[in-house]
Amino acid sequence: MNHPSRDLAAFAAQLRYDDIPTPVLRRAEDLLLDWAASALAGKGARPVETIARFAAQMGGPGTAQVLISRTHTTPLFAALVNGASSHYAEQDDVHNGSVFHPAAVVFPAALAVAQAQGNSGRELLCAAVAGYEVGIRVGEFLGRSHYRIFHTTGTAGTLAAAAAAGRLLGLDAGQMLHAFGSAGTQAAGLWEFLRDAADSKQLHTAKAAADGLTAAWLARDGFTGAQHILEGPQGMGAGMSRDADPARLTDRLGTRWALPETSFKYHASCRHTHPAADALLQVIQAHGLRPADIAHVEARVHQAALDVLGPVEHPRTVHQAKFSMGTVLGLIATCGVAGLTEFAERFDAAGIVAFRGKVRMVLDAEVDTAYPARWIGKVTVTTTDGRVLHGRVDEPKGDPGNTLSRAELRDKALRLAAFTQAATPAEVDALVERIWSIAQLDRIGDLL
C-alpha cells in the first residue's frame, strides 16, 4: 500500500552517517555554524528574552545549553529558547522550494537532545540531515496554498524537529511514524501576526523545535500518533493546504539530498526581498547610480512575495522593516548592503523612507512561474534623467549555485555575534573550529 508518511519516517529513522555523501555532511557543518551565529544574533531581542524568561520560570535543570545565555536546562527549554533566538535576525538559512527555514527548527531540537544524551558529532550531523530532508519535503508537500496563510517554518518545522530529535533518540521506523503523527497534530503558525509586527515568528520557531522534540520524546516512550498525519483525509494536507502533493514527501529519498539545496542568507531581511535586492545592486553598480539618481524602482516578484511583503506598507519596527521591499531596496541603494547594522541604524532614516516611496512591487509571470524552485530577481529602474534600466539575477547571493565560502561564513558569524555582543571574536573563532571538526567529537558538549 502506498504510504508516503511511513516511507519518509523509515528514511529518517534508518538514515546512517555513512550513507550521507561527504559534501552533504560538510554543508551540514556550514549550516550548523550559520545557525549558531544566527541564534547568537537573537541575544537581547525583547521577544527572545521574553521566551527565555518564561523558560527559566517553567523549566528544570539539565545539560542542554541555551546559546544566548550560556545557561543549561532540560532539552525542551533549550530547544524552545534556541529556536526563538535563531530566526530573530532573519539571517538563518532558507530552502527555496519549500519556503522553509530548516536550521531554526532542526538544530535547536537536535542539539538539545544530543547534549542531553551525550551524542557524538556524527550523530548530530546525521540527525540534522534527517531533519532537513524530512522538513523540506513536508514543506514541498504542503505547497504554495499552505504558505499563503501558514508559516511553513512553524508547521513543517515541527515535523523536521521531530525527525532530527527522533533520529538521536534512536526511534525505529514505527516510532518515528508515531512521532510524525504527534508532531503534525501540533503543527501551527499563522502569518496574521505580520500585519501587526507582532512577536509570533519567534514563538513559531521556538514551538516548532520544542513541539517536535516533544513528539519524538513521547514516541520513544510508546506514545502513538496518526499514521497518515500528512496525507490522510483529516491530516495536515486536508486541513491546511489546497494543493498538497503526497508525491513530494518521498521525492528521491536517499538520492536527492535536499539539505545542500538550502540557501544562506546574505541580506538581513526576509528572503523574498533578496532577489530584487541583488538585481537592484547589479543595476546600481553597473551604472554608478546614487539614490538621488533613481526616480522609481519596479520590483518584479512572485505572488508569495506580494502576500508576505504586501501588507507591510509603513514599517514601524526594525523587524517589520525586514519585510518592507521599499526599505530593503532603500538600504541597498543608500548603503550598498542591507545588513543588521544598516537595519538597526537606518531603517527609518528620512532618506530610506523617501526611497521607500519610489518602490513598488508587481507580479512578474516569469518570476512567479519559476518560483519556488528558482527565485529570480528582476527590477526595472527609472532614473531621474529618464533612463529605464533592467536588472536581473537568476540566483541570488547565498543560493546553492552562488553560495557563501567558508571564509564568508566565518565573517558572517563574526558579524552576527558582534552585533549583539553574544560572543567575542576569539569565541567565534573557537566555535568555528569546533563545528568544522565536529565529526571528530565523540561527545558534543557545550557549543560555547
Which stretches of the chain bind a second copy, using CB under 8 A?
Answer: 46-47, 50-51, 53-54, 57-61, 74-77, 148-150, 154, 178, 181-182, 184-200, 203-204, 207, 211, 214, 217-218, 221-229, 232-236, 238-240
Closest CB to a second copy among residues 203, 431: 203
- Cα distance between residue 243 and residue 235, in whole Å: 13
> Taking a C-beta distance cutoff of 8 angstroms, is the pair 246, 253 a contact?
no
Locate cell 522534540: which residue?
213
CB of 370 vs a second copy, minimal distance in Å = 24
Give the residue with the Cβ less far from a second copy, 38 or 158. Answer: 158
Between 74 and 420, whose beta carbon lies closer to a second copy?
A: 74
Residues 6+ apart with CB under 8 A from 318: 343, 344, 347
CB 446 within 8 A of CB 115: yes
Least distance CB 6 / a second copy (angstroms): 12
| Minimal distance, residue 257 CB to a second copy, in Å | 29
Which cell is 414 given?
A: 563574526
Q: How far is the CB of 76 from a second copy (least distance, A)?
A: 4
- Sign of the torsion angle spanned by Cα atoms 19, 21, 26, 32: negative
Residue type, 204: H
Q: Which amino acid is at 340?
A: L
From residue 241, alpha-carbon distances to 99, 144, 155, 325 in Å are 14, 8, 11, 27
Cell (9 digits) for 389: 534600466
Residue 7 · residue 249 · CB < 8 Å = yes
| CB nearer to a second copy: pick between 226 and 338 | 226
Nearer Cβ to a second copy, position 219 or 340?
219
Q: In the complex, what is the shortest distance from the CB of residue 180 to a second copy, in angstroms, rounded to a whole number?
A: 11
Cell of 232: 490522510
Task: Give the count of beta carbons closer than 10 Å to the beta carbon of residue 31.
Answer: 26
For a second copy, the closer of residues 53 and 256 by Cβ is 53
CB nearer to a second copy: pick between 212 and 396: 212
Query: Could you tell me the CA-to-CA distances from 135 to 95, 229, 284 in Å, in that order?
Result: 10, 14, 37
Task: Please identify, using beta-carbon distances, which residue of 185 and 341 lies nearer to a second copy.
Answer: 185
Torsion sign (Cα): 322, 324, 329, 331: negative
| Angle, vertex CA 285, rays to CA 280 and CA 291, nearest 5 | 65
Looking up cell 525527525 gives 163
Alpha carbon distance 257, 28 (integer Å): 11
Give whichever of 188 and 418 is closer to a second copy, judged by the CB atom.
188
Nearest distance in Å: CB 226, a second copy: 4
Q: CB of residue 57 vs a second copy: minimum separation in angstroms?
A: 7
Nearest approach in angstroms of CB 216 to a second copy is 11
Of 141 and 355, which has the nearer Cβ to a second copy? 141
Least Å from the CB of residue 192 to a second copy: 4
| Shortest Å distance, C-beta 308 to a second copy | 9
CA-nearest of 33, 71, 29, 31 to 431 is 33
